[in-house]
Structure 1
Amino acid sequence: MGLLSNRVDRESLKQGDHIYSWRAAYIYAHHGIYVGDGRVIHFTRRGQEVGTGTVLDVLLVSSGPAQSFVPCPTCIPLEEGNGVVSSCLNCFLAGGVLYRFEYGVNPALFLAKARGGTCTLASSDLDDLVVHRAKYLLDNGFGCYNVFKNNCEDFAIYCKTGLLVVDQSTMGQSGQAVSIIGGPLAAVLSTPLRLVTTNVYGMAVTAVGVYCASRYAADIGMRKDVMKIPVEDLTHRLATNLIQVVEPQILPAMAPESHLLTAR
């Protein structure tokens, strides 16, 4: 992987990798966890979606598999998927290119990758634990799909880190969702400069600065409103809407997976 692209070859994949593929001319990326043997566990929006009531709904529909792609006979077609599903790598990519999400990047690299949803400052947990979380959620679900708070990238990031945003009224951990909001926000916040200057370059620099600051502050590795939640406890919390702050010291006692929580 390089500075500008996270594209990788299939041969380089290993269990626990967070992978993604861009859809519809880079409008949106679909994310999942590679669990080995050519299989990917991922969170689909069909049958689970909470609409935004905006043009984003149209964009998300257009971000599905390429029209020319034909699913294999052993996998559930993505348009018929319901929640967390397991697919072969070909069906997951749906005719797209394979990319690997990066963890533990430094701030300079994070900001250099201007498009969100490709990397994070947060560290990944051990591969065995990542695969365990993905397989557990395959059987138990990941709640209701929401483009801003609980999407396929949120699923993959949770599997990799065990971190979840505790305040359900705020943005989830998805970098691409932050990018969707961050661009218009930067434009709005830079607009007042027009009252004091006509320098287009100055306004552009301000807009870029606001956008980068919003991405950096919203990254899962920087946020203070996240906590480590054991996957065995997560599905109950999602079902009962009990995602809330828990004292860190009680987590090991409630988590069968806690002995594996060693960041790499």
Structure 2
Amino acid sequence: MIDLTVGAEEAELPCPTCGSPPKNSNGVFCTCLDCFLWGGSLYLFEYAVSPARFLAKGRGGTCTLAASDPLPMVHHRAKLLLKTGFGCYSLFKNNCEDFAVYCKTGLFIEDEAGSVGRSGQSATVIGGYVAAALSTPLRLFSDNVYVMAATAVGVYFAYRFVAEIGRKTTEVEDLIVTKKLGTSRTSTGALEHVHQGTKYFL
């Protein structure tokens, strides 16, 4: 497995199968399935789903509209990023879902002002806040709870959809050069990402 994580302090008891992530690594490392799961469950992330199925999934981070590229291209991106890194880990802007989806599809969201977010998980969280914030002023014009609820749900799904289609195809070589990936290093705890919810791998 090739994964992106928040930290990389050397484990006290290295895994006999894959060893432990190198101390102060760039955040991307190889690991066996057992270390990757670390007692958690394995979930299927779906690619090339229909817009209807995408929106029907109330929780983000479970599927994408984008189709997966051929396996050789996926391996090429993953192995190259294993050497260079994928930038500094951020739960909302650059997490393991972003890494996995990029390796599988080549799609990446530029970190620009006004960006609506990156991963499906972060779009779910942020979309909820945006929906609540935009629907609250409706109380000044209508006290109909159904209108307010429908507006909040509509804004939430619209936000998720915009965040999903905002990714652009970027060659991995160009991504490494333009984003200067692999320059940030952290040491906040060995395999800390396993405590942050769903994990993604290639």
Q: TM-score, normalised by structure 1?
A: 0.60
Is the alpha carbon distance of 1:79 and 1:184 closer, same or farther for their aligned partners in structure 2, counting shifts above 3 Å?
Answer: farther
Cα distance, 1:202 vs. partner? Answer: 2.5
Q: Which amino acid aligns with 1:91?
A: C
Cα distance, 1:138 vs. partner? Answer: 0.6
Say whether residues 1:44 and 2:5 are aligned partners. Answer: yes
Q: Which amino acid aligns with 1:164?
A: F
Q: Which amino acid aligns with 2:146?
A: Y
Q: Deviations over 1:128-168 (max 9, x none)?
A: 21122111111111112222322211111110111222343
C-alpha separation in 2, matches of 1:187 and 1:144: 30
Aligned to 1:103, what secondary structure does the other structure show? coil
C-alpha separation in 1, matches of 2:23 and 2:123: 25
C-alpha separation in 2, matches of 1:78 and 1:172: 30
The structure showing larger relative contact order (alpha-carbon pairs under 8 Å, at least 6 residues apart) is 2
Say whether residues 1:232 and 2:173 are aligned partners. Answer: yes
Structure 2 residue runs without a partner (length 5+): 182-202
Cα distance, 1:79 vs. partner? Answer: 9.9
Aligned residue number for residue 72 of structure 1: 15
2:144 to 183, 192, 199: 199
Say whether residues 1:101 and 2:42 are aligned partners. Answer: no
Cα distance, 1:234 vs. partner? Answer: 2.0
Q: Deviations over 1:231-259 (max 9, x none)?
A: 2232222218xxxxxxxxxxxxxxxxxxx
Say whether residues 1:217 and 2:162 are aligned partners. Answer: yes
Q: Percent identity?
A: 57
Q: Deviations over 1:54-87 (max 9, x none)?
A: xxxxxxxxxxxxxxxx973433269976410111
Query: Aligned ranges for residues 1-264 of structure 1 at < 5 Å?
Result: 40-46=1-7, 72-73=15-16, 74-76=18-20, 82-169=26-113, 170-219=115-164, 222-223=165-166, 226-239=167-180
C-alpha separation in 1, matches of 2:21 and 2:171: 30
Q: Deviations over 1:1-26 (max 9, x none)?
A: xxxxxxxxxxxxxxxxxxxxxxxxxx
Structure 1 residue runs without a partner (length 5+): 1-39, 48-69, 241-264
Q: Which amino acid aligns with 2:180?
A: A
C-alpha separation in 1, matches of 2:84 and 2:7: 17
Number of corresponding residues:
177
Is the alpha carbon distance of 1:172 and 1:209 closer, same or farther for their aligned partners in structure 2, counting shifts above 3 Å?
Answer: closer
Q: Name the Cα RMSD after superposition.
A: 2.6
CA contact (8 A) 2:27 2:89 kept: yes
CA contact (8 A) 2:21 2:30 kept: no
Is the alpha carbon distance of 1:75 and 1:172 closer, same or farther for their aligned partners in structure 2, counting shifts above 3 Å?
Answer: farther
Cα distance, 1:198 vs. partner? Answer: 2.6
Q: TM-score, normalised by structure 2?
A: 0.77
